[in-house]
A and B are shown apart, each in its own frame.
Chain A
Amino acid sequence: EDQVTQSPEALRLQEGESSSLNCSYTVSGLRGLFWYRQDPGKGPEFLFTLYSAGEEKEKERLKATLTKKESFLHITAPKPEDSATYLCAVQAPGTYKYIFGTGTRLKVLA
């Protein structure tokens, strides 16, 4: 069964304390892996798309990487405004549907 698992569920960081969020997936042939940020009461905001193992994407303090089994979202020197829920999703072959993980709730303390 196609599945996406994110860890940790919740993470509290001090401002400037770098860390990584994990997204593990089991899917028979990955078409794409997507990272989104969701603020409370809002729809998810697109961050990155990764298609093949070894691929990396960067945007400001965020960097996403992909292996054959998992993806990491690295947050370097986070700021309080980075506090949000980060969602990972995969697009399985033969379908355009997304399979979402349960998300990581990140809180960055000033």
Chain B
Amino acid sequence: GAVVSQHPSWVICKSGTSVKIECRSLDFQATTMFWYRQFPKQSLMLMATSNEGSKATYEQGVEKDKFLINHASLTLSTLTVTSAHPEDSSFYICSAGPSMNTEAFFGQGTRLTVV
């Protein structure tokens, strides 16, 4: 299957600082990538759809100014959590696929802890 790589795997930051998470498609090009958030023992919640060369589309209730998404190339999307607070602590996961009509592949996830 296709490979999606996410970095870092975990990060600890101080309250008020910003954190950037990278999502790369290693062996295919992805015009669209998805960003999810997952709370303990819960399922994946879609946060936004990242579109190469254009603005991201955010799900209802997701603050676009807090979660900045940049999809500057066909193999890289970044999620920046701005002015992070403890309530932003969570597991963030990205996904992408070689085709929008077939299965998506997920990154390893990033555990964000805000202290």
Residues of A with Cβ closer than 8 Å to B? 31-32, 34, 36, 41-46, 49, 87, 96-98, 100-103, 105
B residues less than 8 Å from A41 (CB atoms) = 91, 109, 111
Q: A32-B101, A98-B46 are in contact. Are A45 and B106 (CB under 8 A)?
A: yes
A residues less than 8 Å from B105 (CB atoms) = 46
Interface residues of B toward A: which range?
A: 20 to 34
Q: A87-B43, A102-B42, A103-B43 are in contact. Are A97 and B49 (CB under 8 A)?
A: yes
Residues of B with Cβ closer than 8 Å to A? 1, 4, 6, 32, 34, 41-44, 46, 49, 91, 93, 95, 100-109, 111
Q: How far is the CA of A34 from the CA of B6 in the complex (A)?
A: 21
Q: A34-B103, A87-B44, A102-B42 are in contact. Are A97 and B109 (CB under 8 A)?
A: no
A96-B101, A98-B34 given. 8 additional CB < 8 A pairs?
Answer: A34-B104, A46-B106, A49-B102, A87-B44, A96-B32, A97-B46, A97-B49, A102-B43
Whether B103 lies near A49 (C-beta < 8 A) is yes
Q: How far is the CA of A96 from the CA of B104 in the complex (A)?
A: 10
A residues less than 8 Å from B42 (CB atoms) = 102
Whether A101 lies near B101 (C-beta < 8 A) is no
Give the Cβ gap from B3 to chain A, nearest Cβ, in Å.
Answer: 11
Whether A98 lies near B104 (C-beta < 8 A) is yes
